[in-house]
Structure 1
Amino acid sequence: MILMLLAPALLLSQAASPATKPAAKPTATPAPRPAAAGPADDATRLQRCIATIATDPVAARAEAGRWRMAGGGAAARDCGGLAFAAEKNWAAAAAEFESAARDAQLAQDDRAATYWAQGGNAWLAAGEATKARTALDSALTAGTLTGLQLGEARLDHARALVAADDLASARTDIDLALTTAGDDPLAWLLSATLARRMGNLPRARGDIAEALKRSPDDASVQLEAGNIAARDGDETRARAAWAEAARLAPDTPTARNAIAALRQFDLPKP
């Protein structure tokens, strides 16, 4: 008999030890996507900023400050937020993105929703799920997000809802996200983890299969595949998936959780 199951590594929570309730902070949050800039000069300057961020985020922040002082508006704020995100200063990044969103709203610029979504994503990385939900509510109610961008915002909104223990609403968000972000393995991973948490094992099995199909070399996907197999009582599959998770991402929280899960098999049988 499989004795215990690790908390999900990614569904809106940190990887946790078997006896620990998962926290609201995610183990990994995708870097915020830059909003498409408006005027040609802004677009060129934003692209230069993004190029600078790749090698020197501090210099990019200084450039964003100069640009803002020269009247750069929302695009300059976006540059600053992306620079802070590159430094993993998530709270500062979120504040910049939200300032960009407000500037864009004043200018009646449709990019406001994208900036709100970036802010929500950064707040999640900062472990501030309530602030993330507020920002993402603004992004989604604007009605201007489409396609993958809409799907990713819904996924982040679902993560904030799970942190608030509103699993039913999160299920609705993820199901909607899958209609526009179904090529993203993270969407299927989040869906599978939520289904397991809600006790819907047939849904969990199907969704983790979709995640594995798209990203078999993702340690978080393998960890959750082991979790679902364990819940299903399939020791062989659980062992194999957890071992693969540990192999794919050594010296990470995901690997440590997978190794802890594997060690349960060394415990004496009750």
Structure 2
Amino acid sequence: MILLPLFLFQSAVPASDGSLPTIDEVQFSECIKQAEIDAPSGVAQASEWTRKDGGYLARACHGYALATDFKFDLAIPLLSEAALGAEAKKDGRAARFWAQAGNAAIAIGELDVALNALDKARATAPLSPSERADIEIDRARTLVGLNRNREAEAALTAARGLAPENGIAWLLSATLARRENKLPDALAFIQTAAPLSPRDPAVALEVGNIAIAAGDETSARKQWEQVIAIAPKSRQADSARAQLAALGSSTAPPKDGQSR
């Protein structure tokens, strides 16, 4: 299970309506910036703000800082509390805070917790189509982890409809279709993903995975070599090298099938 990049909290700050930002909003913005510059320092700053009863914005920043510092288990309750606090104040950022909690839960394999948070994010408040698509993508990842592939397919269908330009939605759709042995669908999805992410090693890896599943060793080899050329130090390159090494003894489809 691979964690998608967390939503940028700066984008969650309400657009200016002409009034000056409150002290809490200014502190929130500064806290997020500090967490991005230096995660441990951001954790310390946010922790102090939370201790001084900074409210749900302090908890949101504290959770974000912890997640940025890879302390996902500690981030989940703080982000969930931030979401509940935002809901109580009718702050539209509640959906994003729930999504953050879901992301953190995915990172440590707490899939039931993740799905609960992501479902709350989806139902809490209106979001932009691209944000809704990101939530559906995370839901799909979680549902696959829970062996609920049919529901994952529905989530990815929704994501593609919400954000047709989102290459990750098409890539994950291709991966899931290949796993389900729906190779024509997998090919169609990856052909859409490729021009959207022309230099993405994950896409090239999946093209090779689909080719070998279809019995086309020559194309698979070419694509896996391209993965290594694009990003030789990436984990996708490691997977491609393993697949190339395996071609000498077997052309069976890869079992992991995870491009991201």
TM bucket (normalised to shorter chain) is: 0.7 to 0.9
- Pair 1:207–1:268, CA change in 2 (3 A): closer
Shift of 1:268: 7.6
**Residues of 2 paired with 1:69 and 1:206: CA distance?**
52
CA contact (8 A) 1:116 1:138 kept: yes
Q: Which protein, 1 or 2, shows the higher relative CO under an 8 Å CA cutoff with sep ≥ 6? A: 1
Q: What SS is found at the alignment partner of 1:266?
A: coil
How many residues are matched?
244
Of 230, 249, 255, which residue of structure 1 is paired with 2:212? 230
Of 28, 46, 51, which residue of structure 1 is paired with 2:28? 46
**Runs of 5+ in structure 2 lacking a partner?**
15-20, 252-260
Q: Deviations over 1:222-246 (max 9, x none)?
A: 1111101111222222111111222
Matched, 1:36 2:12: yes
**Residues of 1 paired with 2:47 and 2:180: CA distance?**
46
**Residues of 2 paired with 1:67 and 1:156: CA distance?**
30
Of 102, 105, 108, which residue of structure 2 is paired with 1:123? 105
- Pair 1:111–1:37, CA change in 2 (3 A): same
Provide the residue aligned with 2:240 in structure 1.
258
- Pair 1:116–1:212, CA change in 2 (3 A): same
Alignment of 1:80-99 (within 5 A): 80-99=62-81
**Residues of 1 paired with 2:219 and 2:179: CA distance?**
19
TM-score, normalising length: structure 1: 0.83
Which shows bigger deviation, 218-227 or 62-71?
62-71
Shift of 1:148: 0.9
AA at the equivalent of 2:140:
A
Q: CA RMSD in A?
A: 2.0
AA at the equivalent of 1:80:
H
**Residues of 2 paired with 1:249 and 1:132: CA distance?**
30
AA at the equivalent of 1:31:
L
**Residues of 1 paired with 2:227 and 2:51: CA distance?**
47
Matched, 1:57 2:39: yes
Of 203, 213, 222, which residue of structure 1 is paired with 2:185? 203
Shift of 1:85: 2.0
Matched, 1:194 2:170: no
Shift of 1:143: 4.4
Provide the residue aligned with 2:95 in structure 1.
113
CA contact (8 A) 1:53 1:83 kept: yes
Provide the residue aligned with 1:172 in structure 2.
154
Q: What SS is found at the alignment partner of 2:12?
A: coil
**Residues of 2 paired with 1:40 and 1:238: CA distance?**
56
**Residues of 2 paired with 1:99 and 1:165: CA distance?**
29
Matched, 1:69 2:45: no
Identity %: 36
- Pair 1:188–1:234, CA change in 2 (3 A): same
TM-score, normalising length: structure 2: 0.86
CA contact (8 A) 2:50 2:62 kept: no
